[in-house]
Amino acid sequence: MASGDGLQTLLSIAAGLGLAAACGLRVFVPLLAAGAAARLGYLPLAAGFDWLATTPALIALGTATLLEVGAYYVPWLDHVLDLVATPAAVGAGMLASMSVLTDLPPALRWGIGIIGGGGAAGLIQGATALLRLKSTALTGGLANPVLATFELAGAGLVAIIALMLPLMGLVLVMLIPVLAFRASGRLFFGRRPGRGWGDRPEGA
């Protein structure tokens, strides 16, 4: 029984961190997914977070999701949203992670939510903001809708994986920031795969 409880705790932590990571891609998509899953009886919510599955909350989250998704397709408004989305993503990541951390002491729940959930969401949001800045510099913003589409798809996919396969979601939490920052590093500094820092440029 103790072993089963430990596994359930691990799965809830993994699901929470996966949802938080998805908040770094789109703030409201993972919260809407968690609320809908809880409303359908698939996802148990921690004490005090039952409101997430209520009809008013789902309507508000659905409306906010539509507005957020649409706004990222408006030129230059996406950069303004990045400024607001970074602290919002941290808060949403904390909320998403703590909402599914059932049967944990409040201190531990807050610690995981703030450090793990908020940290994962903020890190990923920061990386995507860097990618958008470089995309604007290189293409005048023409490629930003493509990036926004990938972010939206990623947020939905990561949220679903976190709910259905929490341990795989935990792996994504570790991989997404690494891949995002590597991509932004290549865009900003022109690093190419297979070329080390110590390699000499041609003709040197």
CB 169 within 8 A of CB 33: no
Identify the domain containing residue 120 by its residue range.
2-187
202 pLDDT higher than 80:
no
Mean pLDDT score of the chain: 85
3-state secondary structure of 198: coil
The count of structural domains within the chain is: 1
Q: How many CB atoms neighbour CB 187 within 10 A?
A: 16
In a domain, 196, yes or no: no
Report the distance separating Cα 167 and Cα 123, nearest Å: 20
3 pLDDT higher than 60:
no
The pLDDT tens digits for 134-174 are 888 888 888 889 999 999 999 999 999 999 999 888 887 77
In a domain, 52, yes or no: yes
Per-residue model confidence (pLDDT) at position 180 = 64
In a domain, 193, yes or no: no
In a domain, 85, yes or no: yes
Q: How many residues does the chain have?
A: 204
The pLDDT tens digits for 30-56 are 999 999 999 999 999 998 899 999 999
In a domain, 180, yes or no: yes
In a domain, 35, yes or no: yes
The pLDDT tens digits for 51-100 are 999 999 999 999 999 999 999 998 888 888 888 888 999 999 999 999 99
In a domain, 73, yes or no: yes
- Res. 183 pLDDT band, cuts 50 70 90: low
DSSP result, 165-178: -HHHHHHHHHHHHH
In a domain, 174, yes or no: yes
